[in-house]
Amino acid sequence: MLDVKDLLTLVPYWILEYASCLFQDLGYEVALEHNLSLKGVVLSSAGGCFDFDDANNLMITSLNNRSTPDLDTFIEVAGAIPGEQRIGVYISDRADIVRSSESRNPVSTPL
Protein backbone atom coordinates (compact mmCIF):
# COMPACT_ATOMS: atom_id res chain seq x y z
CA MET A 1 0.00 0.00 0.00
CA LEU A 2 1.32 3.45 -0.94
CA ASP A 3 1.01 6.17 1.70
CA VAL A 4 0.20 9.52 0.07
CA LYS A 5 1.16 12.69 1.97
CA ASP A 6 -0.25 16.17 1.61
CA LEU A 7 2.68 18.31 0.43
CA LEU A 8 1.14 21.44 1.95
CA THR A 9 1.81 20.01 5.40
CA LEU A 10 5.52 19.95 4.53
CA VAL A 11 5.72 23.67 3.74
CA PRO A 12 6.37 26.02 6.69
CA TYR A 13 3.35 28.27 6.95
CA TRP A 14 4.18 30.36 9.99
CA ILE A 15 7.18 32.12 11.50
CA LEU A 16 8.02 32.64 15.15
CA GLU A 17 9.54 35.90 16.35
CA TYR A 18 11.43 35.23 19.59
CA ALA A 19 14.37 37.05 21.21
CA SER A 20 14.65 39.48 18.25
CA CYS A 21 14.98 36.55 15.81
CA LEU A 22 12.81 34.80 13.27
CA PHE A 23 12.45 31.02 13.35
CA GLN A 24 10.61 28.56 11.10
CA ASP A 25 10.43 24.84 10.44
CA LEU A 26 12.81 23.36 7.92
CA GLY A 27 10.90 23.36 4.64
CA TYR A 28 10.49 20.37 2.36
CA GLU A 29 12.15 22.03 -0.65
CA VAL A 30 15.25 23.04 1.32
CA ALA A 31 15.49 19.61 2.93
CA LEU A 32 15.11 17.92 -0.46
CA GLU A 33 17.68 20.22 -2.08
CA HIS A 34 20.27 19.52 0.63
CA ASN A 35 19.29 15.87 1.21
CA LEU A 36 18.31 16.50 4.85
CA SER A 37 15.62 14.97 7.02
CA LEU A 38 12.67 17.22 7.82
CA LYS A 39 13.84 17.87 11.36
CA GLY A 40 15.10 21.12 12.77
CA VAL A 41 14.24 24.76 13.16
CA VAL A 42 15.76 27.28 10.77
CA LEU A 43 17.07 30.57 12.13
CA SER A 44 15.75 32.85 9.37
CA SER A 45 16.88 36.16 10.81
CA ALA A 46 19.39 36.51 13.62
CA GLY A 47 19.51 39.12 16.35
CA GLY A 48 19.45 39.51 20.10
CA CYS A 49 20.84 36.44 21.86
CA PHE A 50 21.11 34.54 18.56
CA ASP A 51 23.24 37.18 16.83
CA PHE A 52 25.31 35.26 14.28
CA ASP A 53 27.06 36.45 11.12
CA ASP A 54 25.25 34.23 8.61
CA ALA A 55 21.84 33.11 9.80
CA ASN A 56 20.63 31.94 6.40
CA ASN A 57 22.20 28.49 6.73
CA LEU A 58 21.75 27.81 10.42
CA MET A 59 19.50 25.14 11.92
CA ILE A 60 18.78 24.75 15.62
CA THR A 61 18.47 21.08 16.45
CA SER A 62 18.69 21.29 20.24
CA LEU A 63 17.82 23.92 22.84
CA ASN A 64 18.75 23.50 26.51
CA ASN A 65 19.76 19.87 25.85
CA ARG A 66 16.33 19.01 24.42
CA SER A 67 15.80 18.08 20.80
CA THR A 68 13.85 20.58 18.67
CA PRO A 69 12.69 18.66 15.59
CA ASP A 70 10.01 21.24 14.78
CA LEU A 71 8.82 24.72 15.68
CA ASP A 72 6.10 23.49 18.05
CA THR A 73 8.69 21.62 20.14
CA PHE A 74 11.03 24.64 19.99
CA ILE A 75 8.25 26.84 21.44
CA GLU A 76 7.55 24.27 24.18
CA VAL A 77 11.23 24.00 25.14
CA ALA A 78 11.87 27.76 24.98
CA GLY A 79 8.75 28.47 27.04
CA ALA A 80 9.94 26.16 29.83
CA ILE A 81 13.27 27.99 30.25
CA PRO A 82 13.31 30.39 33.21
CA GLY A 83 14.27 33.97 32.45
CA GLU A 84 17.94 35.01 32.57
CA GLN A 85 19.15 31.40 32.63
CA ARG A 86 22.12 30.35 30.51
CA ILE A 87 21.19 27.63 28.05
CA GLY A 88 22.92 25.42 25.54
CA VAL A 89 22.00 25.70 21.87
CA TYR A 90 23.10 23.19 19.25
CA ILE A 91 23.37 24.92 15.89
CA SER A 92 24.22 23.24 12.60
CA ASP A 93 25.16 24.85 9.34
CA ARG A 94 23.20 23.18 6.52
CA ALA A 95 26.23 23.45 4.22
CA ASP A 96 28.39 21.58 6.79
CA ILE A 97 25.74 18.86 7.13
CA VAL A 98 25.66 18.42 3.37
CA ARG A 99 29.48 18.33 3.09
CA SER A 100 29.65 15.83 5.95
CA SER A 101 27.09 13.50 4.37
CA GLU A 102 28.81 13.77 0.99
CA SER A 103 32.17 12.78 2.47
CA ARG A 104 30.62 9.74 4.19
CA ASN A 105 28.74 8.66 1.07
CA PRO A 106 30.99 9.42 -1.88
CA VAL A 107 29.38 9.20 -5.27
CA SER A 108 31.20 6.91 -7.67
CA THR A 109 31.36 8.05 -11.25
CA PRO A 110 31.60 5.40 -13.95
CA LEU A 111 34.60 5.70 -16.26
Q: What is the percentage of the chain residues whose pLDDT exceeds 70?
A: 78
Structural domain including 36 reads 17-104
Asked if residue 82 belongs to a domain, the reply is yes
The top-scoring range by mean pLDDT among 14-23, 31-40, 102-111 is 14-23
CATH number of domain containing 34:
2.30.42.60
Q: How many Å separate Cα 79 from the centre of its chain? A: 18
Residue 53 is classified by DSSP as S
pLDDT tens-digit series, residues 60-106: 888 888 999 999 999 999 889 888 888 888 877 765 554 443 333 33
In a domain, 109, yes or no: no
Is position 39 within any domain? yes
Classify strands 89-93 and 58-63 as parallel, antiparallel or unpaired.
antiparallel
Asked if residue 5 is part of any domain, the answer here is: no
Quote the pLDDT of residue 76.
Answer: 94
Look over the chain and give the mean of its residue pLDDT values, rounded to a whole number.
Answer: 75
Number of domains in the chain: 1
In a domain, 44, yes or no: yes
Q: Residue 43: which pLDDT band, with cuts at 50, 70 and 90? A: confident
Judge whether 62 lies within some domain: yes
